[in-house]
Structure 1
Amino acid sequence: MSVYDKLKELNITLPPVAAPAAAYVPFVRTGNLVYLSGHIARKDGKPWVGQLGKTMQTEEGKQAARAIAIELMGTLHAAVGDLNQVKRIVKLMSLVNSTPDFTEQHLVTNGASELIGQVFGEKGLHARSAFGVAQVPLGACVEIELIAEV
């Protein structure tokens, strides 16, 4: 099954690449690797603001991370032209806006990891880091970046 058939089965439409909010580009391709800049969680077109452990619980954070995965796939599509050309999702790095005592950053990040795995199958199995941070740009609850091999 192609990546696009899987997206259709999951009722996912890839969004266009969002314009950068600062001095950076959405992606850089060098050799056979594509580095995607961090994408913040968005809800209804606006930053999905919140802090895990204070104003948000793990399940809502996981939904935010899943939403980011969809945005990342849209950017990856723009970078390579065809997601079926992806040989491997190499790594995700997740920054979770959380209180000092919140310890479920890894579970929040599963929202992105699980969707990437569903869409890409074996090619979607990736290395990952999940950090708790004091703040994410614009007050967003989660930011995730991705590296892919094409």
Structure 2
Amino acid sequence: MGSWKRELTAAEGYQFARSAGLEVLAMLRSGLGSLDQVKRVVKVEGIVNSVPEFERPNIVLNGFSDLMREVFGKKGAKRGRCRERTCFGKIQRSWPA
């Protein structure tokens, strides 16, 4: 895959995080039987594989948060609230997020 700023852009990171969100939704639906069982998104934590110069990890995480809001409406994740992001220079399997 790669890391942000070296091989990938913030926009590509946004889409990758959104795809990760779709996988999370699929697991939730499989485990709960229906996404209607979700009462709210309490916290979003994201790990971004980036070079030290990358200054936009929040844009990457927005891909996930925006999807949760689209799916769950007011009970979805809100940008800037209850979010935590961590940047690493290298993570397992070179996944970008």
TM-score normalised by L of structure 1: 0.60
- In structure 2, distance between residues paired with 1:108 and 1:67: 11
Q: What SS does structure 2 have at the residue aligned with 1:129?
A: strand
Relative to its length, the structure with more strand (as a share) is 1
- In structure 2, distance between residues paired with 1:70 and 1:62: 13
Matched with 1:103 is 55
Alignment of 1:12-51 (within 5 A): 49-51=1-3
Matched with 1:132 is 87
> 2:69 matched to 1:114?
no
Task: Structure 2: state its 5+ residue gaps.
Answer: none
Which amino acid letter does the alignment assign opposite residue 130 of structure 1? R
> 2:9 matched to 1:60?
no
Task: Structure 1: state its 5+ residue gaps.
Answer: 1-48, 143-150
Which amino acid letter does the alignment assign opposite residue 69 of structure 1? G
Structure of larger gyration radius: 1
Alignment of 1:71-90 (within 5 A): 71-90=23-42
Structure 1 residue ranges (4+ consecutive) displaced by more than 3 angstroms after TM superposition: none
Which amino acid letter does the alignment assign opposite residue 94 of structure 1? G
Q: CA deviation at 1:79?
A: 2.0
Which amino acid letter does the alignment assign opposite residue 140 of structure 1? W
- In structure 1, distance between residues paired with 2:52 and 2:20: 23
Matched residue count: 94
Q: What SS does structure 2 have at the residue aligned with 1:65?
A: helix
Q: Percent identity?
A: 34
Q: What is the RMSD computed on CA atoms of the aligned residues?
A: 1.0
Relative to its length, the structure with more helix (as a share) is 2
